[in-house]
Amino acid sequence: MTAVTPDVAHADVRKSGRFLFRAAIVFLCAWVLVPIYFLLINTLSSPETVNAFPKSFIPEFDMGSLTFFANFAGMLTALKNSVIVACLTMVLSIAFGAPAGYALSRFDFRGKELFRVLILLTRAFPLPLLALPLAVLFIRTGLDDTLLGLALVHTTLAIPFAVLITFSLFSGIPIELEEAAWTLGCTRFTAFTKVVLPLIAPGIAASAIFAFVISWNEVFAAAVLTIQNRTLPAFLLQSLGTSPLHLKFAGGFILVVPALVFIFAVRKYLFAMWGIANR
């Protein structure tokens, strides 16, 4: 008889603990999902519904705002610019970041730890602080208002992540695999292409996509450094400031969705990267 009571108490504690845990999960999901859901509803609503109150929770699938954007002058050019800059950023940050990640994981050199910290520290400089000197420098070198110039800035933003992600990828591959390949007739380069590359290809793709997203979402440098060749966020920022509410919603939606999809695709590697950065 006496043995029963503590058991019941235990079960109670466990049950309420589980309830709290679930409640926290629901709350955090709602925190992220509800705004996105409202964004979706308002994007798919006619201008009248957007401004009306109370809100409906069911979208009415009015494509008016989206169609407007599709036909908006400059919109497609901006989209094209965004894609070009993001792709350039992706290629550049992997081209420079992956070798750095490989070196960090495979070679011992003096100041290696310091170098790793410095890579993270590059993110400590606020872009607004750098924007003015950069703009001056770009105008001098003729890089101002070019997609390449903007891609270079985005690359500096994306490289720390590219280095850290690839560093963790390379570190996950035992050096003995490469060494075995060397003894079986490979050069350093063929061992890399035949053994290392196939093993890390998915991770490299993920880190490339992440660089793409960083560039895609970046608006400050894009707004400061370009005038004619604006990327989508810069273009929307400029145009939407004076637009009616329903168009603001639709513009926001157009910006958010690709980023969300990309991030979702590479979520596994993001967790790995945060683990590394916090170490």
Beta carbon nearer to another protein, 125 or 182: 182
* Tokens read off for 38: 């409202």
- Give 212-276 as a DSSP string: HHHHHH--HHHHHH-SSS--HHHHHHHHHTTS-HHHHHHHHHHHHHHHHHHHHHTHHHHHHHHHH
Draw the binding track, 154-193, toward another protein (x: CB under 8 A; -: no contact): --------------------x-xx-xxxxxxxxx--x---
Draw the binding track, 216-255, toward another protein (x: CB under 8 A; -: no contact): ----------------------------------------
Beta carbon nearer to another protein, 27 or 109: 109
What minimum distance in Å lies between the beta carbon of 197 and another protein? Answer: 10
Q: Is 60 in the site for another protein (CB under 8 A)?
A: no
Applying CB under 8 A, what is the total number of residues that bind another protein? 17
What minimum distance in Å lies between the beta carbon of 177 and another protein? Answer: 5
* Tokens read off for 72: 């908006």
Helices 232-240 and 245-265: angle between axes, nearest 10 degrees: 160
Cα–Cα distance between 136 and 142 in angstroms, integer? Answer: 10
Beta carbon nearer to another protein, 170 or 216: 170
- Cis omega (within 30 of 0) on the bond before 54? yes
Q: Where are the alpha helices (DSSP H) in 44-56?
A: 47-51
Longest dimension (CA), the chain: 87
Q: Which of the residues 198 through 217 are near another protein (CB under 8 A)?
A: 198-199
What minimum distance in Å lies between the beta carbon of 111 and another protein? Answer: 16
Draw the binding track, 17-56, toward another protein (x: CB under 8 A; -: no contact): ----------------------------------------
Fill in the DSSP letter of residue 45. S
Cα–Cα distance between 178 and 191 in angstroms, integer? Answer: 6
- Give contact residues for another protein (rule: CB under 8 A): 174, 176-177, 179-187, 190, 194-195, 198-199
